[in-house]
Amino acid sequence: MSRDRTDAVIAALGRDARPVRRIPPLRRQLATVLLLAAAVAVVVVAGLGLRAPGLPLLQLGSPFLWMALGLAAAGVAGATSALAFARPGREAEAWRALALGLAALGLAGLASAYAVAGSGASSEPIWRGAPELPCIIASLVFSLPAALLVTRLASRAAPLQRGRTAFVSAGSATALGALAAHLICRTPGEWHVVVTHALEPFVGALLLAAPLYALLRWWRR
Amino acid sequence: MAAAQEGDGQRYEALLHEVRPVVQAYVRKRLPGDAAVEDVVQTVLLLIHRARHSYRAERPFEPWLFAIAKNALRDHQRRGGRRARREETLRDDLRRHADPDAPGDRARSASPESGAIARELERALAKLPASQREAVTLLHLEGLSVDEARSASAPRAAP
């Protein structure tokens, strides 16, 4: 293709300059996602009830509280990252948010592991196999509304790296879904809260990334 | 850019003309070959057009522009790498066999070595799918132009 052809491309684009609707600010999109995730959590808790009563849910330093904070932070930071990845020129911000989310989840995992180890439950098995699965499935199901919304919002921006956007969307939405699952989880064992709940966002990122990528492509057509 | 988002074609065109040398310089630093550079510049212009709604006036324009340029360049290089892995350059002796009129090769075309090369070429051609084999035969062995090859293959391709 020649330079003359580039001139022709510019002229054609100039002729095609119809008014376009600017994408809303990232914060507004993020607030929409968080509102939806909160609504899902409220509906889930209202329908299924909080985690077994009697557990020190809000006690400072309890594994439950640490993990709830970690999942919430990972969800918020991950959704910020996914939406920023879909906007050209905001990759640095997206990477920072992603790193922050991962660090928050990692720290929450470490803090809750420390709390479990100090509680005398450390002799319990860390991974029970099949009984862990319902919780993972619940977190995936609860993550679907947020996953679809983040992907839809990302598709309306300009995701240059669709794979990356889909992967982070999947992980962040699953973190938010895992938070709802965490609130109602009845799987026994303190290590379950630490290990399975912390791993759920990664499982979701792996399992949901491909369908979200396909959706992103579909919506971008 | 804000004017372009509101549909002002003239100012949009002026912006693209202004942006073009900047993108060209960015791509030229990272990519050899004028044609390839121009290809990527045009892709960047098209991507700017498709992504123009994603620019927000309160943010600087350059990071937005260079993110698009960087991505177009990366895609181009990735596609180039994939193409290079798929394609195999014809060995010089096979190339000479394909062009027996090349200087100094007429005598060789009748030699026993030439027979071995012809068999090797046939084997290589046999490995290709029918449509590619036909294209290589018409373009490189029969020496037709692209248009002539298209006309020659069209009647056979028709249902």
Task: List, for residues A169-206, the tens digit of each pLDDT value.
Answer: 999 999 999 999 998 888 777 788 888 889 999 999 99
CB nearest A14 (choices: B10, B46, B53): B10
B12 vs A: CB within 8 A: yes
Compare all CA atoms of chain A with the CA of B72 and give the residue at the minimum distance: A160
- Predicted local distance difference test score (pLDDT) of residue A1: 47
What are the structure tokens assigned to A98, written together? 């992603």
Q: Suggest the residue from B42, B54, B61 to mutate for an interface test with chain A (most A CBs closer than 10 A).
A: B54
ipTM above 0.90, yes or no: no
What's the predicted TM-score (pTM) here?
A: 0.74
A87 vs B: CB within 8 A: yes
Question: How sure is the predictor about A102, in pLDDT bands with cuts at 50, 70 and 90?
Answer: very high
Taking an 8 Å cut-off on Cβ atoms, the answer to whether B56 and A89 are in contact is no
- Predicted local distance difference test score (pLDDT) of residue A104: 95
Confidence check: pLDDT of B50 > 50: yes
Residue with tokens 């990972």: A74
CB atoms within 10 A of CB B111: 10
A9 vs B: CB within 8 A: yes
Q: What is the DSSP letter of B99?
A: -
Question: How sure is the predictor about A165, in pLDDT bands with cuts at 50, 70 and 90?
Answer: very high
Q: Suggest the residue from B1, B6, B11, B16 to mutate for an interface test with chain A (most A CBs closer than 10 A).
A: B16
Q: Chain A: give the shortest CA distance to residue B25, in Å.
A: 14
Spatial separation of the C-alpha atoms in residues A113 and A65, rounded to whole Å: 12
Spatial separation of the C-alpha atoms in residues B69 and B28, rounded to whole Å: 11
Spatial separation of the C-alpha atoms in residues B80 and A84, rounded to whole Å: 28
Question: How sure is the predictor about B159, in pLDDT bands with cuts at 50, 70 and 90?
Answer: very low
Q: How far is CA B140 from the centre of its chain?
A: 18
CB of A169 within 8 A of CB of A213? no
Q: For residues B61-86, give the mean pLDDT.
A: 84
How far, in Å, are A213, B28, B53, B95 from residue B22 at the CA level? 32, 10, 21, 41
Residue burial A42-78, b: 16+ Cβ < 10 Å; e: rest: eebeeeeeebeeeeeeeeeebbbbbbbbbbbbbbbbb
